[in-house]
A and B are shown apart, each in its own frame.
Chain A
């Protein structure tokens, strides 16, 4: 009987096992690296209908976030401003700029400017801006240094484990109330005032939910 398999085939089972092991490791690594909000969301910076620049308005001009995102400290939702907010200045400053044409059109007709939404929690998650902001959690903890962004990008993964990282240790991430809208400020802990932060978490009864029903209600 002639040989069906060449001699080299003897090593084949071992090679197949080796290949599967390597391929499996690489596939696992790829999934942990890519199939996570750290990859899918972070860096998302869509092109907006109006090239609105936070680095100019919030950074250079120093306009407070609340001037535009007015509801952030009153309600669960942080609103994107109405066009009349922009027109307070832009009916005089750069009033003929072609870049602002959609804003003027919206102001005249009442139709909203189609801003592209960047941060979006899934519909089964309950999130509330006011509770965070009023308890000393600054925008920068969750949105990054917006005051230096010319185009807003998704800066943090905003996944469940990311929420919980803070909910387990809020004292490391809270700021003085007056620093909440100052994105260049540092947390109490980073200023070496950890004791004060721990005392505040205790005195203000800051108890971020860690049970499922806190966020999935």
Chain B
């Protein structure tokens, strides 16, 4: 019987040393104890496909496709027909000035712009738009400041186009930002520029003492 106990102890120690403790790092895929219906014959986003040659389940859109079952009457944004809104251009193909019709530049709109700006632009352009985002220290030397006359006088449409499609060494963000969010960023960028040019006269006299003016 003693041998039985010894053998049992050995099994316990062996199991402990092979299986280890909870939470220890491992590069092996997790063991599936009951794999019942964990893997079904269906595709989920970004999964691998063995059917398509490039191995993707997310199929790229063919050129010029439009969603079906919608109409321009019900949704003016459908077909992206508005040049100002979607391409930042006027009917004659120049960059449009001002914001497209149908967008109200309100406080909420600017707040949304700020939220998006700080997520997507601040790493390079900095939170105040001075071009000194964190990546400057690591070699993104070309990031310009927004606070020079060229960009101050630049048409809104051109800024929209830059952030949608990119320019020179800056890549576009059109694939990640919704159209209205892009305009919100343009509005916030204008606010940043305005803020840098603020003078004492912009502060209400009542509030000046708070700033020690």
Name the B residues within 8 Å of A30 (CB-CB): 15
Beyond known contacts A44-B28, A45-B26, A77-B44: 13 more, CB 8 A cutoff: A23-B8, A39-B22, A40-B32, A45-B25, A61-B123, A75-B45, A79-B46, A87-B171, A89-B135, A89-B140, A122-B38, A122-B39, A153-B25
Q: Do B1 and A93 touch (CB < 8 A)?
A: no
**A side interface size, CB within 8 A:** 50
Closest to B119 in A: A64
| Contact status of A47 and B175, CB under 8 A, knowing A26-B12, A64-B119, A92-B140 | no
Tell me, yes or no, whether B153 is within 8 Å of chain A by CB.
Answer: no
A46 to B25, CA, bound (A): 9
From residue A8, how far is it (CB to closest CB) to chain B in Å? 9
**B side interface size, CB within 8 A:** 47
Closest to A123 in B: B40
**Quick one: which of B19-38 are within 8 Å of A by CB?**
19, 22-33, 36-38
Q: Do A19 and B8 touch (CB < 8 A)?
A: yes
Name the B residues within 8 Å of A63 (CB-CB): 123
Q: Do A91 and B27 touch (CB < 8 A)?
A: no
Cross-interface CB contact of B45 among A40, A79, A82, A84, cutoff 8 Å: A79
Closest to A110 in B: B54
Contact with A along B112-126 (1 / 0, CB 8 A): 000000111001100
| Contact status of A112 and B56, CB under 8 A, knowing A33-B22, A89-B135, A93-B135 | yes
Closest to A77 in B: B45
Q: Do A19 and B5 touch (CB < 8 A)?
A: yes
Q: Do B27 and A40 touch (CB < 8 A)?
A: no
Q: Do A92 and B139 touch (CB < 8 A)?
A: yes
Name the A residues within 8 Å of B23 (CB-CB): 38-39, 42-43
Q: Do B38 and A123 touch (CB < 8 A)?
A: yes
Q: Could you list 21 examples of A-B contacts with CB < 8 Å?
A: A19-B8, A23-B8, A39-B19, A39-B23, A40-B31, A40-B32, A43-B25, A61-B134, A63-B123, A64-B120, A67-B120, A79-B45, A89-B135, A89-B140, A91-B169, A93-B135, A94-B139, A111-B55, A122-B36, A123-B40, A123-B44
Q: Do B176 and A70 touch (CB < 8 A)?
A: yes
| Contact status of A124 and B38, CB under 8 A, knowing A19-B5, A70-B176 | yes
**Quick one: which of A89-105 are within 8 Å of B by CB?**
89, 91-94
From residue A16, how far is it (CB to closest CB) to chain B in Å? 9
Tell me, yes or no, whether A80 is within 8 Å of chain B by CB.
Answer: yes
Cross-interface CB contact of A112 among B31, B32, B55, cutoff 8 Å: B55
Q: Do A62 and B175 touch (CB < 8 A)?
A: no
Name the B residues within 8 Å of A33 (CB-CB): 22
A94 to B22, CA, bound (A): 38
Contact with B along A43-80 (1 / 0, CB 8 A): 11111000000000000011110110010000101011
From residue A30, how far is it (CB to closest CB) to chain B in Å? 7
Name the A residues within 8 Å of B1 (CB-CB): 12, 15, 19
Q: Do A62 and B123 touch (CB < 8 A)?
A: yes
